[in-house]
Amino acid sequence: MSLETVISISILVVLTYFIWLLNRTKSPSKTKVTLAKKSTTLKYRPQTNQHFQANVLENANELSEAKSEFELPEDFLGFTLFVSSKLDANQQETVQNISQSFRKPHPLLLPLTQGVFEPNELFDLIKSDAEMTAKILNAVNSSLFSLRQPITNINHAIIFLGITQVKNIALQLAVQNNLKFKDKAQNEAYKKLWAASYLASSFCLLFATEVNEESPAELSTHCLLSYLGDFAILSYRPSIAGLYLDDNTLFERTKIFQDVIGINTAVVGKNLAQQWRLPNSIETGIEHSILPLTDGTVNKGFSSEQLRHIFLCYVSCRLGDLVAFRGLRDLSELKALSFEAMGGVEFYYSQDNIKKAGLDKINALITDVSFRKKINKVIEQTY
């Protein structure tokens, strides 16, 4: 090899090295959370009928472009949840319109939300209404529950599914009193919401029992009714059905609701609970149901008990969403309730909330084999 060739090669190597150094200094270092490049700042648009569906689709497309399994949407950290106490006149009118358009609940709703039942008390309450009895039996024998043998009476349902589960099914039916959808997508979204709320209440019962909460059945009921606003908005605006059918996260749904309609499901649910004169604890539970999506529990003056209840319901609902909306069927591989482990922004603040609420046991439960089996059994019974 000649001297000129050696020199040429040496120069080429040095140039290559400097180019590599230059590119390295320009490239940002990798982090666990990669912010999406595309901005998803959306503008509020009046909720007119002719523009509503187009706005929903436009906003959903913008959000989906920014979504990736381990990406954090650019506007997530600065996202603010609307709360009932700070709504303007237009927002308050929207909430009233949605609430007033939703069918009145079944007369059994109020007694079902009051107190804890013994098996015979629940049996006597339900059997007092033949129509509700028939609806419950139809529900438990439907495709939502993969039962090998049909359940033929309420007492059998209570023995097989348990008091809390039968009561929660009755609550669902009472809330959705004769609610029917002609639109196919709307009806499919309704079925997914029905399943999500049932799963969430079942998961919450398991979590609350394992962490020794005093009233796991009551928390389970709160969890179920956290979806009240979803049902009302779906009934009011059939166009939003796609948000439940197209793999959207809680953040994406909530952001679109706030940007397009001007409110969120928690605000609507709280308003309905007030109108229907449900217990104050349920109204408050619904009002706070999506606070952990943001850092909304910070500096709110919540007691440790309140934080536990808020987070237990929230995480149960988010797991219910994963199963009902996103097709998760097995939690055996679940490692932690965190953004990094779950790949969903709804879990971004979960570990902070676990610490604030003193719920460290949740992390151990998620990886416990026997607890996972209980969770998976609920999923198997539902699908």
pLDDT single digits (tens) 140-186: 888 767 677 888 888 888 888 889 889 988 998 888 876 778 789 99
What lies within 8 Å, CB to CB, of 245 at 6+ separation is 185, 188, 189, 192, 325
For residue 55, what pLDDT is reported? 52
**Measured distance CA(280)–CA(270) in Å, rounded:** 10
- Residues of the chain predicted below pLDDT 70: 1-70, 144, 146, 178, 298-299
Angle at which helices 154-161 and 130-140 pack, to 10 degrees?
A: 40
SS3 78: coil
* Helix spans in the chain (H): 3-26, 49-65, 89-101, 109-112, 119-127, 130-140, 154-161, 163-175, 184-210, 216-225, 228-236, 241-245, 250-256, 265-275, 280-287, 304-324, 339-342, 350-357, 361-367, 369-382
What's the CA gap between 223 and 244, in Å, rounded? Answer: 18
24: tokens are 């390295």
pLDDT, position 343: 79
306 CB-near residues (< 8 Å, 6+ apart): 288
The pLDDT value recorded for residue 1 is 54
DSSP state of 237: -
Contact between 105 and 320 under an 8 Å Cβ cutoff? The reply is no
Residue 381 backbone dihedrals phi, psi, to 5 degrees: -70, -25
Domain boundaries, given as residue ranges, for the chain: 34-103+179-382
Instruction: State the pLDDT at residue 152.
Output: 86
pTM recorded for the entire structure: 0.78
Q: In the CATH scheme, what architecture does the domain 34-103+179-382 have?
A: Orthogonal Bundle (1.10)
